[in-house]
């Protein structure tokens, strides 16, 4: 797609960017950027630099401005896709004409694993970079980095786990595939907890993405979790997070 058409594409409201004024006022191009856990709803978490700043420069708050994504995309169109990457993302390039590449050895302050007690019954492991969001209208709990999200809904039943297992296995095996085909089915059950799931793709105005729908089942209790992610490689994250779900029962 051409740059002209890219400029006409809507861009989601991800929040504001903290940007070195070497980029916005001294016409230097961005060469290094990372997205940390946002400070508030107005903050995207993105911190963007030219690569020429030293510590004394970045420590002076007067040298950092707050800008809308549109401003930076106009300066550097290659940021459009990168700005959709989630918290924990770090990117760098060698020069303004070089391609961006992902950095794996830059440690963010909030990048560590934590165990979360979802309910009196259920708990799971998640990276602290994920933001917790309570969706009151839907009655669900969500953890998100923007490009990776997991949503939970828990309820109880009058049935034992074998009956529930058969019910949700039937739902997966007989789902309506007219809108989205099942890419893969999962069964990672053990003697204590039954875990069933299926993977599909969906899309919205901005992108195509994956959805992993899962049921975690014990006697008289079900945890329904949906994992949303943009990159197929993040299926590893989704599966490992689902595997970490456990119960006290």
Domain ranges of the chain: 3-102, 113-247
State mean pLDDT over 134-159.
91
Please identify which residue in the block is written with the tokens 């105005």: 205
**Is pLDDT at 68 greater than 70 in this prediction?**
yes
Give pLDDT tens digits for 170-211.
999 999 999 899 999 999 999 999 999 999 999 887 788 999
What integer pLDDT is reported at residue 135 of this predicted model? Answer: 86
Element housing 166 (H / E): helix 161-173
What integer pLDDT is reported at residue 207 of this predicted model? Answer: 81
State mean pLDDT over 64-91.
96
**Is pLDDT at 152 greater than 70 in this prediction?**
yes
State mean pLDDT over 67-76.
95
State mean pLDDT over 102-116.
95
State mean pLDDT over 201-225.
93
Contacts of 82 by beta carbon, 8 Å cutoff, 6+ apart = 33, 89, 91, 100
User: What is d(CA 236, CA 242) in angstroms, rounded to the nearest whole number?
Assistant: 10
Three-class DSSP category at 24: helix
What integer pLDDT is reported at residue 1 of this predicted model? Answer: 39
51-65, 85-99, 201-215: least confidently modelled range: 201-215
State mean pLDDT over 32-52.
96
What integer pLDDT is reported at residue 126 of this predicted model? Answer: 98
Pairing of strands 122-127, 64-67: unpaired
Are 222 and 164 in contact, with CB atoms under 8 Å apart? yes
Mean of the per-residue pLDDT values of the chain = 93
Q: How many CB atoms lie within 10 A of CB 45?
A: 25
* Spatial CA neighbour of 89 closest among 100, 97, 99, 98: 100
**Is pLDDT at 5 greater than 70 in this prediction?**
no
- For the domain spanning 113-247, the CATH number is 3.40.1000.10
146-155, 198-207, 230-239: least confidently modelled range: 198-207
């Amino acid at each position: 797609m051409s740059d002209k058409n890219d400029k006409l594409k809507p861009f989601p409201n991800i929040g504001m960017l903290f940007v070195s004024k070497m980029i916005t006022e001294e016409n230097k191009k961005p060469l290094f950027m990372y997205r940390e856990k946002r400070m508030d709803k107005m903050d995207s978490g993105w911190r963007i630099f030219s690569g020429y700043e030293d510590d004394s420069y970045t420590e002076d708050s007067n040298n950092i401005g707050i800008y809308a994504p549109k401003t930076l995309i106009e300066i550097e169109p290659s940021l459009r896709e990168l700005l959709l990457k989630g918290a924990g993302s770090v990117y760098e390039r060698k020069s303004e004409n070089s391609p961006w590449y992902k950095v794996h050895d830059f440690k963010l302050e909030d990048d560590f694993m934590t165990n979360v007690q979802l309910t009196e019954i259920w708990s799971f492991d998640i990276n602290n970079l994920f933001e917790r969001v309570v969706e009151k209208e839907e009655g669900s709990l969500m953890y998100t980095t923007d490009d990776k999200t997991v949503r939970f809904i828990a309820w109880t039943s009058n049935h034992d786990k074998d009956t529930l297992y058969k019910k949700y296995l039937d739902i997966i095996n007989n789902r309506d595939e007219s809108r989205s085909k099942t890419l893969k089915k999962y069964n990672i059950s053990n003697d204590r907890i039954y875990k069933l799931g299926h993977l599909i793709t969906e899309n919205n105005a901005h992108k195509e993405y994956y959805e992993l729908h899962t049921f975690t089942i014990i006697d008289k209790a079900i945890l329904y979790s949906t994992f949303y992610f943009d990159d197929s490689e993040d299926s590893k994250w989704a599966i490992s997070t689902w595997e970490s779900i456990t119960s006290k029962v």
